[in-house]
Amino acid sequence: MADIGLPLTFSIIPGLRSDRDVADFAARSGIETMIHIPMQSKGWPQRRLESNGLLLSMDEIAIREHLGEYVRQIPTAIGVNNHMGSEFTEHEDKMRVVLETLKGKGLFFIDSVTTPRSVGQTVAREIGVKTGKRDVFLDNEQNSAYIRGQLAQAVRMAKKKGSAIVIGHPHQATIATLTEALPTLAGQGITLVPVSHLVR
C-alpha cells in the first residue's frame, strides 16, 4: 500500500502480532495512522472478535483502560475508527465513554458505519470530537471489477458533495486494483488526502 506513493491513512488493529512494526514503518514513511478499534458486532460471539475488543458488558473503567492500552500500543496514531462494532456503536452510553476518552487524548473519530443506526458521529459532534464517516467500503467483494465499481462510486460522491471517505483492506485484490487505479484519479479531478483532512 505504501508503494502506491499516494496519501493513504493506515488503520491498525492494536494487539496483533505486527501492530507496532506497521505503525513504526508508517511513521518512518510519513504515513498517517489510526487505531482500528475492535468493537462488539451483532454476530458476536459466533462472529469472532479480537480478545482485546470492546464489549457492551464492559463498564466505563474497563472501556477507558482498553482505550489507554490501544494508545500505548500504537502511540503514533492521530485518530481511530471502529473495526466491526455493529452492536457497540448503536449504544450511546458506551460510545459516549469511548468518545470522551478519545477527546481527552486529542484523537479524532471516523465512524466506519457498520450499522445504519450508529450513534458515533452524532455523539462525537455533540461533545466536540473531530469526526467523519465512511462513505464507501471498497472491497466487500474481493475482485477487481467490484473494487473499481466502488471506487467509481466514491469519485461520483466526492464530486457531488466535495469529499468522500473510503475504507479498504490489505487484500491482494485491493492492493493490485488500487495500485493501478489510484494514480488515474488526478485525471478525473480527484485529490487524494489523508483522512485527517476530512474530519470536522
- Using H for helix, E for strand and C for coil, what is the string for 142-166? CCHHHHHHHHHHHHHHHHHHCCCCE
- Beta strands across the sheet bearing 108-111: 9-12, 32-39, 79-84, 108-111, 131-133
| Helix (H) or strand (E) run with residue 140 in it | none
| Helix (H) or strand (E) run with residue 138 in it | none
Is the pTM above the cut of 0.85? yes
- Strands 131-133 and 136-137: what pairing? unpaired
pLDDT of residue 23: 97
* Interval 155-194: pLDDT, tens: 999 999 999 999 999 999 999 999 999 999 999 999 999 9
C-alpha cell read off for 189:
479531478
* Interval 78-129: pLDDT, tens: 999 999 999 999 999 999 999 999 999 999 999 999 999 999 999 999 999 9
* Interval 119-158: pLDDT, tens: 999 999 999 999 999 999 999 999 999 999 999 999 999 9
Asked if the 1-134 domain carries CATH number 3.50.50.60, the reply is no
Domain segments of the chain as ranges: 1-134, 135-189
pLDDT of residue 68: 98
Say how far apart CA 125 and CA 132 lie, in whole Å: 9
pLDDT of residue 24: 97
Q: For 45-59, what is the mean pLDDT? A: 96
Say how far apart CA 151 and CA 72 lie, in whole Å: 34
Q: For 58-69, what is the mean pLDDT? A: 98
What mean pLDDT is reported for the chain? Answer: 97
DSSP designation for 6: S
For residues 39 and 54, is the Cβ–Cβ distance under 8 A?
Answer: yes
